[in-house]
Amino acid sequence: MSEKHFELDIKGMTCAACSARIERVLGKLEGVTANVNLATEKAFVSSNNPAIDLPQIIQSIEKTGFGATESAKVDQNQKSLEKEQEYQKLLKEFLLSALLTLPFLVEMVAMLLNIHLHLSSLIQLALATIVQFYCGRKFYVGALKSLKSGSANMDVLVVLGTSAAYFLSLCVMLFNLPLHLYFEASVSVITLVLLGKLLEVRAKAKTGFAIAKLLHLQPKKAFVERDGKLEEVSIEALKVNDVFVVKAGESIPTDGIVLEGASMVDESMMTGESLPVLKSVGDSIVGATKNGDGMLKCQATKVGADTFLSAIVKLIEEAQGSKAPIQRLADTISGIFVPIVVGIAVITFGIWWMVGGNFEEAIINAVSVLVIACPCALGLATPTAIMVGVGRGASEGILIKNAEVLENVGKISAVVFDKTGTLTYADPHVVDTLIEKNSMDKESFLELAAALEEGSKHPLAKAIIKAAPTTSRLSVQTFQNYSGLGVSGEIDGVVYFAGSPAFITQFTSLEHSSKAKLFLNEGNSIVALATHEEIIGYIALADTIRESAKIAVEKLQNDGIAVYMLTGDNERCAQKVAHELGIKHFFAEVLPDGKAEAISRLKNEGKFVCMVGDGINDAPALAVADVAIAMSNGSDIAVESADLILIANDPLFVVNAIALSRATMSKIKQNLFLAFVYNNLAIPLAFMGMLNPIVAGGAMAMSSVSVVSNSLLLRRWKMKK
């Protein structure tokens, strides 16, 4: 019996309780398993029950109060637009809430300065009512859904705490009780929690950008040959075995095989390597790669969902859809905390009423329990630490995209670096020469090679020209470019060839000396210079290793973290770079799916893996990794797939990013500890009637100040040099 898989976009989730509720409901269907991801707002459902179809699954989700749509039918551009609109709406609500909270803040500051400034009770009621039931209405909706699902989330905590303060104050006004008003507590909590929600929505709004940009690489049209004529068709209309033409400078529409022509193709989106690759008859091509100067006639071998690009998209989606092992700690704890606090408040009310017989005293003590247990400190514990940590990182060129990495980075046991553009500069240069012709010096040799390469646009040619002396170039006649292989030209009546060793052998039938073979095996890119009669010499070119890469590797290894290198380069090149950097483990000649597999292999060995990359080809590996770090000089796809972005393009910043993340996570844990220790000490005092609501409100404020102050200590964090 074949298993069916469905991918759904979910609407209306606000916390872990929501995703857990959907999983429980779908799990009750026979033969159905589900993984619901709150961060990506997606559900991945599998079913081996032929009686269960997609409409039934969607109907089950909708019965729980959430919306569900098959992901394939969702317009990603429209989804991104809706996310932005959601953010703008929440931003307006926060700004309104902050504006209405400002008068309460002024009053509190005035009291601290012993200045008698008092808002009338009617003004307080009007301001607090708008904040409580307009700006904070989403918390009531979220709390109601949470309670219906049989659990309690942060929304329940916010609603209980703010409602207790609000309705107690309302009762004081209506019954003219000689008690303090607590409207300032309710509006402050609503405003601060809205700020946290604002940051959360902003992070979620960017979730789908990576895939959207990846899909944007594929052209919308293709030129298909039909009845001897070229016809422009949409990509969706392409079929396997269709013959299509790719003009110079265009992106290749789909995977295929070259039938006619030859051209250099930029495959950096696939391999991550900067050097273009020669494609000629019989060679395979990949959709979304960039054609160079030539024209190619190709035959489609894969289209639609079967293409290489679609496979990358699927890898990213599946990786993003998997659940993080540790997440939403506050929601998990609050699921136990809220019922206990409510129970304590009810018991407090009952005992004081029955023992003391004083209803007013009983209700005040019960409310004191709820006010002292207001989730202000708990709600601030994580967002304040994140805000300070993210701000400190940004000032140092380390951009932390979301809080998940802050939960996971402390467990990192292995860091995997992509080579090109991460450990190196992706800029080839001349590193050595081997001159076989004794009568020629190095300067003349490079000048001769540069003269021949002047007419080539190949990156290696540019590196040779840059390395040559700045004297006037020799005059070259009958220049000819053999795309991707080499060049030839006549200088002073002699025909010279410059290109790969294989190119020289093919055009001159000359054999390489034993000394030359040793030179070729040193792990560099080689350009040979020869005539029909003799090989003049060889030029070795290599990418430049970043100065700080070796220091970064050493620091990570000293910290007990294993370091790996991942590259599409050949084994010799990879081995050379790894040796120079002191890296003991590396993976060579791997494509994007292979990179993701390498990361998965390390994870299966029990390692907690951090991937550092910069190319589109790194996106699947970044998505699979437990922690993903991208260099900002890389592709937008890699950047959007990452948890951390390094502005400085410096491997040493990986060390500092991990240190900053660990420091931030440490502050979050300290804040949560402070928040719960505060409640564990204060709630018993309130239960015993030793705290009235005024003192409870002050204590609540102090708990918030302690949490914020502790978070602000992160500003002292400094970069390691």
Distance of alpha carbon 73 from alpha carbon 58, whole angstroms: 13
Decide if 366 contacts 627 (C-beta within 8 A): no
| Lowest-pLDDT range of 403-407, 431-435, 682-686 | 403-407
pLDDT at position 297, please? Answer: 92
Other C-beta atoms closer than 10 Å to the C-beta of 169 total: 24
Q: pLDDT at residue 328 above 80? A: no
- The C-alpha angle with vertex 108 and arms to 107 and 112, in degrees rounded to 5, equals 115
Distance of alpha carbon 682 from alpha carbon 676, whole angstroms: 10
In this prediction, residue 326 has a pLDDT band, given cuts at 50, 70 and 90, of: very low
**Could you give the count of Cα atoms lying within 13 Å of 211 in the half-sphere of its Cβ?**
24
Predicted confidence (pLDDT) per residue in 335-365, tens digit: 566 677 778 878 988 898 888 777 667 766 7
Contacts of 250 (CB under 8 A, 6+ apart): 219, 290, 291
Distance of alpha carbon 14 from alpha carbon 23, whole angstroms: 15
pLDDT at position 177, please? Answer: 78
With a pLDDT cut of 70, the percent of the chain lying above it is 78
pLDDT at position 673, please? Answer: 81
pLDDT at position 630, please? Answer: 80
pLDDT at position 203, please? Answer: 41
Q: pLDDT at residue 406 above 70? A: no
- Region 629-645: mean pLDDT is 64
Per DSSP, the three-state class of 499 is strand
Predicted confidence (pLDDT) per residue in 493-540, tens digit: 999 999 888 788 888 888 888 888 888 777 777 889 999 989 999 998
pLDDT at position 596, please? Answer: 87
Decide if 641 contacts 208 (C-beta within 8 A): no
Residue 125 vs residue 202, higher pLDDT: 125
Please state whether beta strands 535-545 and 424-435 pair in parallel, antiparallel, or not at all (unpaired). antiparallel
Please give the backbone phi and psi of residue 437, each rounded to the nearest 5 degrees, phi first.
Answer: -90, 110
DSSP characters over 426-471: EEEEEEEEEE--TT--HHHHHHHHHHHHTT---HHHHHHHHHS-SS
- Region 285-313: mean pLDDT is 84
Q: Taking each helix axis from N to C terminus, what angle separates 209-216 and 308-321, rounded to the nearest 10 degrees? A: 180
> Distance of alpha carbon 397 from its chain centroid, rounded?
16
Q: pLDDT at residue 64 above 80? A: no
pLDDT at position 319, please? Answer: 40
| Lowest-pLDDT range of 12-26, 638-652, 686-700 | 686-700
pLDDT at position 214, please? Answer: 60
- The C-alpha angle with vertex 402 and arms to 397 and 407, in degrees rounded to 5, equals 105
Q: Is 418 labeled as catalytic in the residue annotation?
A: yes
Strands of the sheet containing 486-491, edge to edge, are: 424-435, 535-545, 525-530, 494-499, 486-491, 477-482
Distance of alpha carbon 353 from alpha carbon 362, whole angstroms: 5
pLDDT at position 490, please? Answer: 92
Decide if 239 contacts 670 (C-beta within 8 A): no
Predicted confidence (pLDDT) per residue in 439-465, tens digit: 888 989 999 999 998 888 776 788 899
With a pLDDT cut of 90, the percent of the chain lying above it is 17
Q: If you average pLDDT over every residue of the chain, what do you get? A: 79
- The C-alpha angle with vertex 365 and arms to 362 and 369, in degrees rounded to 5, equals 135
Among the listed residues 242, 331, 418, 643, the single catalytic one is: 418
pLDDT at position 322, please? Answer: 41
Distance of alpha carbon 523 from alpha carbon 571, whole angstroms: 8
Predicted confidence (pLDDT) per residue in 232-272, tens digit: 888 888 899 999 999 988 989 999 999 999 998 887 665 54
